[in-house]
Amino acid sequence: MPVHLPALSSRRHFLASLGAITITPSLSFAADVDENLIAILNDSHVGEKHPPDSPIPTNLRNTVAALLAMPKRPAAVVINGDLALKDGQRGDYQHFAKLIAPLREAGVPLHLTMGNHDAREVFYEVLSQDKPKHSAVESRHISIVQLKRVNLFLLDSLKQTMIAPGDLGQQQRDWLAKSLDANADKPALIIAHHNPRLGGDPLHFPGGLEDSEELWKLLVARPHVKAYIHGHIHHRDFFHHHGIHILNTPAVGYVGNKATSTTGWTLAHINNEDAAFTTHTHDPQHEWNGLRVDLKWRA
């Protein structure tokens, strides 16, 4: 049953009773921002010692430049985990921070999540502006981004640095259920680094989200949840499970198999009852470049 909530200030107070959480509301943007546009990046894997002209930092640098050159910029840019090269070293995050600095200097709303190659405390030491004053879930980096037509629920699936599988845990799932109920006025998109172990390619399941079944029960029970967006696999696929779209978005940094994948990022244009997801690749000649998929939300 939908939960009808009062104005945003009252909603914030209500959510505070569930646990402190960072909420970014939809703002009154300048004319050069498309309030219905979201950019999704993941797996940047930036390392401290990468030469400036090597592909990994170059890919992120070029993506940032492309976002800033758009006629209308996204209302939100999400970099969905594995920000760091291998095990979340301080120098990795310092290099990463420099590469994304132009977005912040331009006032583009930027949201970061954790992957299995990240280290939360080191991340917070370097990117202190991204550390919430109070955490709704202990030792998890989570937030809600409120946009014009959707709410983004950014989850933390980092179980342990350098351990491939991820998990959310009971406390984060409980928080998510309560927060979804408190924000049922718009479609909800769930964004986390790890892939679910269902609705996709079984070959990738061992490295995915260990508590996928528990998560899916709470998502399916809430009809305003429309899609789950992840990275981690360094590939591009679209699946669905019990009516919820599962979007595997391409990696920015590198791919495991160049014969089947390439690097890139995703633009989502949100409409009232559906969304268009367009892939942009760093190789302008790749068959994925400009490839658009229209996904209709479940009723």
Q: Identify the pLDDT of residue 24.
A: 55
Write out the chain's pLDDT in tens, 299 residues: 333 333 333 344 434 434 445 565 544 344 499 999 999 999 999 999 988 889 999 999 999 999 999 999 999 999 999 999 999 999 999 999 999 999 999 999 999 999 999 999 999 999 999 999 988 999 999 999 999 999 999 999 999 999 999 999 999 999 999 999 999 999 999 999 999 999 988 888 989 999 999 999 999 999 999 999 999 999 999 999 999 999 999 999 999 899 999 999 999 999 999 999 999 999 999 999 999 999 999 99
Query: Angle at the Cα of 80 (from 74 to 269), degrees rounded to 5?
Result: 30
Within 10 angstroms of residue 299's Cβ, the number of other Cβ atoms is 6
Q: How far apart are CA 227 and CA 28, in angstroms?
A: 26
Q: How far apart are CA 250 and CA 280, in angstroms?
A: 9
Q: Identify the pLDDT of residue 238.
A: 96
User: What is the sign of the dihedral through the CA atoms of 91, 96, 102 and 105?
Assistant: negative
Global confidence as pTM? 0.91
Q: How far apart are CA 191 and CA 231, in angstroms?
A: 9
Q: How far apart are CA 202 and CA 131, in angstroms?
A: 35
Which class for 269: exposed (0-12), middle (13-18), buried (19 or more C-beta within 10 A)?
Answer: middle
Closest to 111 measured CA to CA, from 73, 148, 139, 152: 152
Q: How far apart are CA 198 and CA 82, in angstroms?
A: 21
Q: How far apart are CA 57 and CA 202, in angstroms?
A: 31
CB 177 within 8 A of CB 223: no
Q: How far apart are CA 288 and CA 235, in angstroms?
A: 11
Within 10 angstroms of residue 243's Cβ, the number of other Cβ atoms is 13
Question: What is the DSSP-derived secondary structure letter of residue 84?
Answer: B
Q: How far apart are CA 187 and CA 166, in angstroms?
A: 25
Q: Identify the pLDDT of residue 23.
A: 60
Query: Any idea which residue has 């546009």 for tokens?
Result: 37
Q: Identify the pLDDT of residue 135.
A: 85
Within 10 angstroms of residue 254's Cβ, the number of other Cβ atoms is 18
Express each pLDDT in 201-222 by its tens digit.
Answer: 888 898 999 999 999 999 999 9
Domains, the chain, in order of start with CATH, read 8-296 (3.60.21.10)
Q: Identify the pLDDT of residue 201.
A: 85
